A = this chain, B = another copy of it.
């Protein structure tokens, strides 16, 4: 095996990760953790892949809403279909700006438009549509399909943990089934190990009598964000993680939950401070950065701790 974490600069952040993994895996170590308990949970948007200028899933949602509005003129007299169909950037920009300021009402209208047009779709059909989108849609700035815009040092970290007997889960505030379309291909994480927000589902049978699971338009509560993350983690895994990684205030409760493990634990916060290679922003991360300083969470500077971002 080549040097571990070769895409990481030789800084204290990298060393802290290496020391932690050695301590919990080395036979005879006082902090040894058996493989069944080596659970790590990683946020997705902004932690494992790009989340600016808009969440990638929101781009997919806009496409689905636009398709529906193009096919069904009767939708176009109400939001969000009207704004998306007319490319009303004032309305869409306000929804995004309000969201960044803590008012999600416009984004909720978008999301409910999306869940409405996807109601009754089978889980297989949804996944095929997402896979096509992530494979064929390019990010405007980075000129690459979305599914390639993962942070390569973080993907390397996932593989490093997997190679050391960790079970690595995704815990996305965004859509669980959205990430399942590509998790195996881009992260080597099985889709059963993706936790996230979701609509609820119903059993149905198609015209041939074949059993199907189809989407409803109702969003399951709580979503997998903030204080909702630890309950989602418990539901899916049944164990407390010993390591967690995030990048925003929505990850605070998950990071605290991992740090509540009785043995050694690690909390890692990705800091977007690299305007040149990615973006530099602290909006929505203020509290997490404060807590990291107080509680000894590892803050990973994209600029200083990573040799590369997307390549």
Contact = CB atoms under 8 A, between A and B. Distances in A.
Interface of A: 36, 123-124, 167, 176-177, 180, 184, 190-194, 198, 200-203, 205, 210-213, 227-231, 233-240, 253, 256-257, 259-260
Contacts of A211: 230, 253, 256-257, 259-260
B238 A194 contact: yes
Contacts of A257: 203, 211, 213
17 contacts: A123-B234, A124-B240, A176-B238, A177-B238, A180-B238, A192-B192, A192-B238, A194-B238, A200-B231, A201-B234, A202-B227, A203-B257, A210-B260, A213-B230, A213-B233, A213-B234, A236-B236
Contacts of A191: 237-239
- Does more than half of chain A's interface fall in helix, strand or loop, or is it mixed? helix
Nearest to A255: B211
B203 A230 contact: yes
Nearest to A167: B192
Contacts of A212: 260
A233 B202 CA distance: 11
A49 to B, nearest CB: 19
Contacts of A256: 205, 211
B231 A184 contact: no
A310 to B, nearest CB: 26
